[in-house]
Chains A and B, each alone.
Chain A
Amino acid sequence: MVAVVRFPGSLDHESAVRAVRGVGGEATYAWHADPQLPDGTRAVIIPGGFSYGDHLRPGAIASRSPIMDAVRRHADAGGLVLGICNGFQVLCEAGLLPGVLRTNATTSFVCRQVELEVLDHDTPFTRELGAAISVPIKNHDGAWFGDPHHARIVFSYGPENPLGSVASAAGVASARGNVLGLMPHPEEAVDPLLGSTDGLGLFAALVRA
């Protein structure tokens, strides 16, 4: 069972559920105020959106909500946690991933398809991906800032760096590899109608892990 966490202001939870079900997985929602994850949760997705209206800093308030204590316990026990876009911001603010997401260097909302290099195939999420994937980005605060020598950078933008992230990072994982965050949206790249199916491999690996 994959639990998709909803906060006030989450937007992409339905796309995350659709992506999981599309590869044969089961998905359910968890609410931000819940103290526990649903029974049988094997993986958690923190979806995209604008939790709490991005007030203070994107992801800052959501990262201190009750469900995040349960997500932290799940991660500490080796369970899988995937944060997409705002979910990546939440995981960084929660300290489950290194660094922080800053305002894009352009100070603008960037919405476009991008090519990602998959730098690390040795995580439970990336085993089935090719060398590069095509996925969309849509964010205003997506520039990862952190120490690239002390972070496991899993995805990078190539050949250009559309948001101005350090080391052109698009996604980073925890040292163990069981927590992954990325700004691009693999859940919006799961159907030919969307222009790419490159995200399917990530969800297939998540469901099978």
Chain B
Amino acid sequence: MTRVVVTVMPRQGVLDPQGQAVRGALGRLGFSGIHDVRLGRRIELELDGPDPLGTAREMCERLLANALIEDFTVAIED
């Protein structure tokens, strides 16, 4: 079994209203020097099979990410 971590993030250039809301809240708590905050999603998959990364990529393309607004990365985690 292989543990694959999928990270889905809003595409660069696409406004991320949730990230902006978090950024505002951090500023109100007194944190300064925040250039940007972006919110994404981490998905942990535990997979059998010969090509877990390829399988995870196909899962992203077919369901886990929406290519119009999101980018994804896949990585094997020990």
Q: Could you list which residues of chain A lie within 8 angstroms of chain B, going by C-beta atoms?
A: 56-57, 60-61, 64, 93, 99-100, 102-107, 145-146, 164
| Residue in chain A with minimal CB distance to B64 | A56
Q: What is the minimal beta-carbon distance from A165 to any residue of chain B, in angstroms?
A: 12
Q: What is the minimal beta-carbon distance from B1 to any residue of chain A, in angstroms?
A: 23
Given known pairs A103-B17, A107-B17, A107-B18, the reply for A60 and B63 (CB within 8 Å) is yes
List chain A residues, Cβ under 8 A from B21: 107
List chain A residues, Cβ under 8 A from B18: 103, 107
A104 to B66, CA, bound (A): 17
Q: What is the minimal beta-carbon distance from B25 to any residue of chain A, in angstroms?
A: 11
Q: Is the interface of B mostly helix, strand, loop or mixed?
A: helix
Please classify how large the interface on chain B is, using the bins under 10, 10 to 19, 20 to 34, 35 or more: 10 to 19
Q: What is the minimal beta-carbon distance from B75 to any residue of chain A, in angstroms?
A: 20
A102 near B63 with CB under 8 A, answer no
15 intermolecular pairs with C-beta atoms under 8 Å apart:
A60-B63, A61-B63, A64-B63, A93-B66, A99-B68, A100-B69, A102-B69, A103-B17, A103-B18, A106-B17, A107-B18, A107-B21, A145-B68, A145-B69, A164-B17
Q: What is the minimal beta-carbon distance from A11 to any residue of chain B, in angstroms?
A: 23
B15 near A105 with CB under 8 A, answer yes
A104 near B64 with CB under 8 A, answer no
| Residue in chain A with minimal CB distance to B39 | A103
A143 to B62, CA, bound (A): 22
B56-78, CB < 8 A from A: 62-64, 66, 68-69
